[in-house]
């Protein structure tokens, strides 16, 4: 990460899966991101693609007239991402555990688990309707 003051960039995605194709290019445009190891870039890309996909699919219900906003902030101590959608929000504690036997074969439900696994911290801010992820 650069030793400079914080760098903040904002990206807007319409709620359509094709928009996800722009995510890697957006991240590569953030100063300091391409200096990270390939493994760290992969982890960040995985987490943010899950977060943006969930915002599109569950928050905005794939309504292409609604947007998902991604704020990326690079600080000397790491990177933070904030994801906003136009949905009502959710309660993370009510998400099913993807490691439960009955959940193992489901097609959905692993995103939150993966995001927690590959990030330093993840939290839902219900007041701002924002998912905040740190790396």
Q: What pLDDT digit, counting tens, does each position of 76-99 carry?
A: 889 999 999 999 888 887 776 666
pTM of the model: 0.85
Query: What CATH number does the domain containing 47 carry?
Result: 3.30.565.10
List per-residue pLDDT tens for the chain, 135 residues long: 445 578 899 999 999 999 999 999 999 999 889 989 999 999 999 999 999 999 999 999 999 999 999 999 988 889 999 999 999 888 887 776 666 666 555 666 678 889 999 999 999 998 899 999 999
**Domain-located, residue 129:** no
**Domain-located, residue 92:** yes
In a 13 Å sphere around the CA of 49, the CA atoms on its Cβ side amount to: 15
Radius of gyration of the chain (CA): 15
**Domain-located, residue 128:** no
Tell me how many domains the chain contains. 1
**Domain-located, residue 80:** yes
**Domain-located, residue 101:** yes
Whether 64 and 95 have beta carbons less than 8 Å apart is answered as no
Distance of CA 97 to the CA centre of its chain: 19
- Cα-flanking dihedrals φ and ψ of residue 131, to 5°? -95, 120
99-118 per-residue burial string, b: 16 or more CB within 10 A, e: under 16: eeeeeeeeeeeebbbbbeeb
Q: Which domain holds residue 90?
A: 7-123
What does the angle CA 10 – CA 111 – CA 104 come to, to the nearest 5 degrees? Answer: 175
């Amino acid at each position: 990460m650069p030793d400079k003051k914080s760098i903040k960039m904002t990206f807007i995605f319409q709620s359509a899966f094709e928009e996800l194709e722009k995510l890697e290019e957006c991240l590569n445009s953030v100063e300091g991101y391409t200096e990270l190891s390939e493994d760290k870039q992969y982890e960040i890309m995985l987490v943010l693609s899950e977060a943006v996909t969930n915002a599109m699919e569950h928050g905005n219900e794939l309504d292409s007239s609604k947007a998902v906003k991604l704020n990326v902030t690079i600080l000397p101590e790491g990177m933070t991402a904030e994801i906003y959608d136009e949905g009502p929000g959710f309660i993370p504690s009510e998400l099913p555990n993807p490691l439960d036997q009955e959940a193992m074969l489901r097609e959905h439900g692993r995103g939150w688990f993966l995001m927690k696994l590959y990030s330093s911290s993840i939290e839902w801010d219900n007041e701002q309707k924002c998912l905040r992820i740190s790396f």
